[in-house]
Amino acid sequence: APSPSEEELAGLLQQLSNIPVRLRERGEIQRSLASKRWLLSRRPALLSALEAARPSLEEVSGLCDEAAGLGLGQLPEVLQAAERAAAAERWDERAERALARREGMDALRQLLAEARGLRVAPSRSGALQQRVDDAASWWARAADAVSGVTSVEELDTLLRQAEETSVPPADRAPLLDKAALCRWWRERAAAAFVKEGCRLSLGESLAGDGHYELTTPDGGWGAHFACSFCTGESRYETAQFMIGCDACDRWYHGPCVGVDKKAADQMTEYVCLFCCRKSGTPYKYGPPEPVPKM
């Protein structure tokens, strides 16, 4: 008699659920029908995978697990597929260890060469190849960064990627030296152009008009902060009282803008030197006029 088709087996399994058969017999019939169904539909898929150039580990392992669950694990094709899948799994374990240990590029390339010789494609070969490709790209960008103009942020990105891709410390040294030099210069420039207490970055300070919002983190005034008319180097200057301009809302040390404490307590309005210049009116608290030290 001809073998039943997959559709016929599926119909028998459906009918079985409505027939009052003892549990032991029901289970035996279900397993028998499921095995026949696997042999009809899944076995050809397994044979096709074995003949393919490099089937995926997930596909081969899934078919082998199905066969083993149905008691078909001793079929020659299943044994052959399981052996190939086991080799790919062992490779995956080695690749995972290599990635976790951040082994060098030579070791990773050797692993990739071994993977190409396997009959089943391992799951981690893509991640390993990506690590090698990233490293190759890193070398080119690192060479440009060392020889050309770059930013501290780009140097930091390259150094972080060097750590992730296991670049030897000696090869990172030029980047570390250049990043350290950039930070050293930036700190010196900030000390020269950004007054103590100013929350602006060096770039913002250079692009601004020289006026700074000098406040402590809690919103108060710091006794050591500089204003637009002092350098912040004299504790005597920075410890003085502050006076705010009613036109622009900027604040200055009273003595720095020619206003003593008694005059400040008596005045109802104060307009700073900058606002007076903008409006073309003389500054009231001189001569001499205060000299900005921006």
* Best mean pLDDT range from 116-130, 141-155, 160-174: 116-130
Average pLDDT over residues 215-232: 62
What pLDDT sits at residue 170?
82
**Nearest Cα to Cα of residue 285 among 266, 272, 269:** 272
In the three-class reduction of DSSP (H, G, I as helix; E, B as strand; rest coil), residue 108 is classed as helix
Q: What is the structure's pLDDT at 201?
A: 62
In the predicted model, is pLDDT for residue 288 greater than 60? yes
Indicate whether 23 pLDDT > 60.
no
| Tens digit of each residue's pLDDT (9 = 90 or more) over 28-40 | 777 778 888 899 8
| Reported confidence tier of residue 134, pLDDT bands at 50, 70, 90 | confident
- Per-residue model confidence (pLDDT) at position 140: 87
- Token pair, residue 77, equals 């094709």
Q: What is the reported pLDDT for 167?
A: 77
Of 75-89, 110-124, 177-191, 201-215, the range with the lowest mean pLDDT is: 201-215
User: Which is more confidently placed, 157 or 220?
Assistant: 157
User: Which residue has better confidence, 201 or 60?
Assistant: 60
DSSP strands (E only) in the chain? 242-244, 251-253
Strands 242-244 and 251-253: antiparallel
Contacts with 184 (C-beta within 8 Å, 6 or more apart), sequence order: none
- The amino acid that residue 256 corresponds to is C
Predicted local distance difference test score (pLDDT) of residue 47: 96
pLDDT at 88: 97
